[in-house]
Chain A
Amino acid sequence: MRCPKALTHRIVFHVAALLPLLWLLWDLSQNQLTANPIREIQLRTGRYALTLLALSLACTPAYRISGLRQFLDARRPLGLYAFAYASLHFLNFMAVDYRFDFSLIREDLLEKRYAVAGFATYLILLALAVTSTRGWRERLGKKWKRLHRLVYVAAILGVVHFLWQVKADATIPVIYAIAVVLLLAFRLPHLQKALRKNNSKIKRQRSKPQLKT
């Protein structure tokens, strides 16, 4: 039987993940997307995608620190939301901005490195989204884990994509770069080992009856 608390958590989670999209739609309806709405949509969907990707990467470290299993469960939905926003970002570019004019798209997409990096990021996220189901996990077995390590590559490429299209103000992209670097550094093997030790300490403490002093 599903615990009611867990259901509330899930509802809150999904509402929170959809909030940026609702906000964007609201601004669109109020014509509050600057004089260049297509560009504004591009920037915002991109930032939401990167943020959710970063949050997804923060789950495992958060679990190791806190021991809360909910963090592990959040990885897949966060990753899928990141992919969803990335898809909006990609579609805004292809359909709304360039209207599938492939001669124009070819010049931008294939020749400019920020666009190449973005496209590569999207392809990785697509592959990960498609193989995110239990069925695929079973089908791929050991290879699944290896494939899904590509999420680290996607995070790096995504940040690089963001940095490469900056004209003069690199503040926000640099913040994302630092966040991603920290999250990846966290996964360095020796850090992992150290935390695993800490985890087993927590587990042992939990299994022993608490002594009141």
Chain B
Amino acid sequence: MQKINPSEITPEHLYFSRRKFIVGAGALAAGTLVSFSCRRIEPAPPTGEDFCASAKATGSTDELGANLTSCRDITNYNNFYEFSLGKEDVAPLSANFRTSPWTLKVGGLVNKPRTYDMNDILSRFNQDERIYRLRCVEAWSMVIPWVGFRLADLLKEAEPLPAAKFVRFETLLDPDQMPGQKDRSFDWPYVEGLRLDEAMHNLTLLATGLYGKPLPPQDGAPIRLVVPWKYGFKNIKSIVKIDLVEEMPASFWMDYAPHEYGFYANVNPDVPHPRWSQSSERRIGELARIRTLPFNGYGEEVASLYAGMDLRKFY
């Protein structure tokens, strides 16, 4: 056995303190790993409690008899990556979002391009309540009492030219107010598009309110699109630009993952997302999972728009 030089032997106090250090470091590493599995200590209190206190809707169910989703859930569970990737973090982070002054520019291939501010919009177009289902591509859904007007009415004022085939929408770009826009893994600003006939459809809304009140920031204030037969990500929020264009616009999600998110994005239980199924959904606030309906239950109104189209190909 090799003789050990006395000077090589670790002094006892150092030996034990080194072990303590290693164990301590190990505990720190384990603790860090553990903390990633835990939610933060204080969940953000539901914001907009004043908002929900005076929330009103004329109906209590949609046309299929499903209950309205609670105001609290609609205003505290939001996919709005411009603010945060965390659904519950959007409301507190957007609390001070400035919605006034706000301009909405309508242009592109039109006879009468125009810039509106919100007062124009609210006075020129009759705002009505419409109770629609919203189905997220993540397979959860809500029933929402929107207040708004038909997109068709706005587009008719602009008088689209014959060359116009699509409508392109754009969200505000303002990383100071919208910290999520500093995340370069996404291509900001958020862009969405509709085919002209989809945009002119009676169901397609520009929403300015929710539960009888102006939209809160987390739900896309002051004006957003509602296309209830398509997945939620088509319902672009906080719109600043609407253009009539000839080419199919490339949307935010098409850019991000083209083989997962398509242009049409019609709700369809028979066309799965590449990585998860779309055949059922969780209705927020309800206990039982429900089967997803083709076109989110609006098939009667919109299926004809896609007659003859292979919806697996045009997803």
Contacts and interface: CB of A to CB of B under 8 A. Distances in A.
Interface stretch (A103-111, A119-127, A146-154): A103-111
Contact of A169 (B9, B72, B85, B276): B85
A114 interface: yes
Given A55-B30, A112-B277, A114-B275, A101 B23 contact: no
Contact of A168 (B26, B256, B284): B256
B34 interface: yes
Interface stretch (B73-81, B92-100, B165-173, B222-230): B73-81
Contact of B10 (A98, A107, A112, A205): A205
Interface residues of B, number: 46
A139 interface: no
B282 A36 contact: yes
Contacts of B88: 34
Please report whether the interface of chain B is mostly helix, strand, loop or mixed according to DSSP: loop
Nearest to B42: A32
A51 B275 contact: no
A77 interface: no
Contacts, number: 110
A39 B272 contact: no
A83 interface: no
Interface residues of A, number: 49
Contacts of A2: none
B38 A20 contact: yes
A135 to B, nearest CB: 30
A155 interface: no
Contacts of B37: 20, 44, 47-48, 50-51
A74 B115 CA distance: 67
Interface of B: 4, 6-7, 9-12, 15, 19, 22-23, 26, 29-30, 33-34, 36-39, 43, 72-73, 76-77, 81, 85, 87-88, 137-138, 140, 186, 256, 272, 275-277, 279-280, 282, 284-285, 288-289, 291
